[in-house]
Structure formats: structure tokens, C-alpha cells
Structure 1
Amino acid sequence: MPVEQRVIGGGAKIGGPKIGGAKIGAPAPEPEPEPKKSKKKLVLIAVVLVVLIAGAAAWWFLLRPSGAPAEPAAEPEPEKGEVLAVEPVSLNLADGHYLRLGFSLQLTADAREAPDPAVAVDHAIELFSGRTVEEISDPKKRAALRDELAAELSEAYEGEVMAVYLTNYVTQ
């Protein structure tokens, strides 16, 4: 009996490409050449980057405007002059209490003449009157009040008073 042979292919048609995808007798396609990176291009890019970084660094350290304006030179501390004693005064505090306050004014060396102490007494009355005994007895608060009085008197006497010293400070 005659034997029949069959070839089973993966969907290949007669006259179509054979297994492997190429026709018999057709030349094999050439592989695409890989793009070559030029060493000249890489060197050029590196040089450009180095120049940009050097320019940015030069601008940052040499030409950049500073964030804060230049500080003016600090004025030197005025020289101490004479000390003017102010007569103690009694001040009314809250809740019927009293404060006996005596102080001296440290004048600057370039003060024209001894200032009138009435202005200093007026500022002291305004600052200390009406406060509670607890408030003025606290050492930190007392120092803050003294410094505030010194600042007010420096302004009132146009810079001729540079400090205030408490010489009498009694509460009742």
C-alpha cells in the first residue's frame, strides 16, 4: 500500500516564507549598524559643563548681590560723665501702697550742663505709679523698669543721659 507523508508547518503557505522567516535563496537582511557615540561630542559636552559650572561659581562668590544691606558702623559707646543725683520721691502704687524711689542719672561726657531733674522725676512718676507691689518687687521686672526709664530719659534729654542707677527703692 502506498504511504502518504504529510508535513505540518506553523501556518506556512505554499510559496510563503519558510521556518526562520526567510525565503530560500533570498539574501539574509543586514543587521542595522549601532549608532557610534563620538568621543568628540562627549568631550565637547564635558567642556561646556565645566565652563558653565565655573561661571556660576564665579558669579556666586564674586558678583552676587548680598542679601542684606551693608551695616553702618556701630556708634561708639559715649564716655561717662558726671552722675546727677535726683532727690527721692514717694509714688502711689496700687491698693494703697507706696514706693520711695531715688535714682541718679549717668550723664555723658559731652553733656552741656546738668539737666533739670524735674523731667526725670516726671518720667519716673509716669512709669512706676499705679503698679502693684508684687510687680515692682520682682528683680527682673525692676531691672526692666529701670532700663525703660533710662531709654525714656535718654530720648527726653537728647542723648545726654546714658544710664539710670536706683539709689533708693523702698515699698510700703
Structure 2
Amino acid sequence: MADEKKTEETPAKGGGKKKLIMIIAIALVALGGGGFGGYMMFAPKKATAEPAPTPGVVAVLDAITINLADGHYLKLKMTLQATTEAAEAPDGSKAMDIAIELYSGRKMDELMSNAERDRTKKELVEKVVKAYTVDKKKEIMDIYFTTFVIQ
């Protein structure tokens, strides 16, 4: 009778190991799926980028002279790269006014630095694009300097 008890207990132990393995496997799958689901739910969302504007007409502006600090001046000639959303070639008066405001009174040494010139150009582009945006339609996409002379 003692042998019968051992044979009855043996299948129960084997079944217990299988159950334990199944429970662990299910827990791992659930945790993995939950982790992936949590990541997908709380992961930073990628910003939906606006489609790149399509280049349109290029408007060449006349050169202007801007007074810098300490009796120096900047001769600036630029072109505006319009987008296809612009109904016609843009009038450059707003862009020239923004450039005069941005560069007036600056020190010559500042603008001689490539880094500062690039920074101010980026600022100029941002302001001009904003000034030429009508009803969320960007009419200007970039500015090109064709003359940038400091004396």
C-alpha cells in the first residue's frame, strides 16, 4: 500500500512542474506584451512633419546698406525663395525691413564670425517666413545672401 501512495504522488508532482512552467510562460508573455503595449502607449510621439514646401519663383531684391555700430556698415543683397503657394512673386519690402531691423547697430566683429552670421541668417529666415505666411500658407521658404559685405 505504501507503493501505491508513491505512484499516486509521482504523477501529481510531474503535473505540478508542468503547471508551474505554463504559469511562468503565460506570465512572461503577459509581461512582455504589457511592456510593449505600455511602451507604445507612453512612448514619445513623433511630430508629424509638415511636407516640405515646393520651390517656386526666386525674387531678387536690390542691395541695401545697413548701418552697423561704430561707423561701420553692411551691404546686403538677398533673394527670396518663394514657394509654389505664393500667388505671385513676393514683394521684398517686408524682408528688407526685417533685415534692417535685425542687423542695424550690430558690431562688425559679431557679423565677421561665421557662427554668428549663420545664427542671424537663421533668425532672419524664421522672421521672414512668418511675415510672408498667409492663412497658414508659407509663401517664402528660404533666403539667399548674394552680397554680404562689411566695412
* TM-score in terms of structure 1 length: 0.69
**Runs of 5+ in structure 1 lacking a partner?**
1-37
Deviations 1:51-96 (A, max 9, x none): 22222123223x3343235435422211111111111111111111
Task: Report the CA distance between 1:115 and its aligned residue.
Answer: 2.4
In structure 1, what is the equivalent of residue 65 of structure 2? 90
**Partner amino acid for 1:88?**
A
Conserved in 2, the CA contact under 8 Å of 1:147 and 1:164?
Answer: no
State the shift of 1:148 in Å: 1.4
* Residue of 118, 127, 132 corresponding to 1:143: 118
Over the matched positions of the two proteins, sequence identity in percent amounts to: 36
Identify which of 105, 120, 143 aligns with 2:80: 105
Measured in 1, the distance between the counterparts of 2:142 and 2:19 equals 69
CA root-mean-square deviation: 2.3
SS at match of 2:33: helix
Q: TM-score, normalised on structure 2?
A: 0.77
CA 1:80–1:93: 2 relative to 1, 3 Å: same
Task: Give the superposition deviation at 1:41.
Answer: 4.8
User: In the alignment, is the contact (CA less than 8 A) between 1:81 and 1:107 conserved in 2?
Assistant: yes
1:67 paired with 2:42, answer yes
Question: 1:118: how far off?
Answer: 1.4
- Name the counterpart of 1:114: 89
Q: Which has the higher helix share?
A: 2
In the aligned structure 1, how far is the partner of 2:124 from the partner of 2:147?
Answer: 15
Say whether the 8 Å CA contact 2:128–2:140 is kept in structure 1: yes
In the alignment, residue 161 of structure 1 is paired with which amino acid?
A: I
Match of 2:140 in 1: 161
Which residue of structure 2 lines up, in the alignment, with residue 17 of structure 1? none
Q: Distance in 2 between matches of 1:146 and 1:133?
A: 15
Q: CA deviation at 1:43?
A: 4.8
Unaligned runs of 5+ in 2: 1-11
Higher relative contact order (CA 8 A, sep 6+): 2
